[in-house]
Amino acid sequence: MLTVSSLDVSLAGAKILRDVTFSLKPGVTTILIGRNGAGKTTLLRAIMGLVPADSGSIVLDGKDILPLAAFARAPAGIGYAPEDRRLIPEFSVEDNILLPGQALKLSRAEIKRRLEKVYALLPELHIMRARPGNGVSGGQGKMVALGRALMVAEKLLMLDEPFQGLAPALALDYARTLSRLRETMRDLALFITESSPNLLKSVADETLLIERGAVNLQPRETQMTA
């Protein structure tokens, strides 16, 4: 579905990702484990087209999307929830969720269909839909960011350290939501970064490691299962 090959990315003249190669498959949850600064966020941003690559390819369903600017990759069905959420504070929760659908110029009917799907999966968002973006807690904001990413994630959903800073009860909620998501969107590929492997044991199908300044990506010896 998505294959990253020999991807090199530099930031401010320093090589951050070197020869990164891996594939994501439909219906498979892949976890990317790495310490702070290993390059997890840079990799997700490179897939989204938010940082330029030096070389390599990112092939989505047979098409190399690397030459495409971020806005041109947007219709490809990749949803992305960044680590820092980035909600628009003065917009309501619902308007934050709707933003990507509007940016993609989806029809009203399609936006409605996708919003209903998001609310069915995350009913707490429906309850807090009228609250302003700056009126939700950090953990609730992570849920909003998940809902917003789901508006575009027709093929692939990428979550950057979703458990970072979540209280234990919310982390459990979040993990349960991911399990429900896997049951309801069976063809969706999930790509989730974390610094600790323990947090995602229950949802990981495949695990990759990013190590030593983001140089190496390798399958783990042992697969983690529930």
Among 12, 109, 169, 226, binds ligand ATP (CB under 6 A): 12
| Total residues binding ligand ATP (CB under 6 A) | 14
When asked if residue 11 is in the footprint of ligand ATP (CB under 6 A), the reply is yes
When asked if residue 141 is in the footprint of ligand ATP (CB under 6 A), the reply is no
Residue 225: CB minimum distance to ligand ATP, A: 24
Residue 217: CB minimum distance to ligand ATP, A: 12
Among 29, 30, 41, 207, binds ligand ATP (CB under 6 A): 41
Q: What DSSP line would sit under the chain, residue for residue? A: -EEEEEEEEEETTEEEEEEEEEEE-TT-EEEEE--TTSSHHHHHHHHHTSS--SEEEEEETTEE-TTS-HHHHGGG-EEEE-TT----TTSBHHHHHHHHHHHTT--HHHHHHHHHHHHHH-HHHHHTTTSBGGGS-HHHHHHHHHHHHHTT-SSEEEEESTTTT--HHHHHHHHHHHHHHHHH-TT-EEEEEES-GGGGTTT-SEEEEEETTTTEEEE-SS----
Nearest CA among 81, 21, 77 for reference residue 45:
81
When asked if residue 100 is in the footprint of ligand ATP (CB under 6 A), the reply is no
Please choose, out of 30-38, 85-93, 95-103, 122-130, the segment that lies near ligand ATP by the rule CB under 6 A: 30-38
When asked if residue 39 is in the footprint of ligand ATP (CB under 6 A), the reply is yes
Using the minimum distance from each CB to ligand ATP, give the nearer residue, 36 or 222: 36
When asked if residue 67 is in the footprint of ligand ATP (CB under 6 A), the reply is no
Residue 89: CB minimum distance to ligand ATP, A: 22
Start-to-end C-alpha separation, the chain: 24
When asked if residue 48 is in the footprint of ligand ATP (CB under 6 A), the reply is no
When asked if residue 222 is in the footprint of ligand ATP (CB under 6 A), the reply is no
Using the minimum distance from each CB to ligand ATP, give the nearer residue, 195 or 202: 195
When asked if residue 42 is in the footprint of ligand ATP (CB under 6 A), the reply is yes
C-alpha to C-alpha distance for 47 and 57, rounded to whole angstroms: 10
What residues make contact with ligand ATP under the rule CB under 6 A?
A: 11-12, 16, 34, 36-42, 161, 195, 214
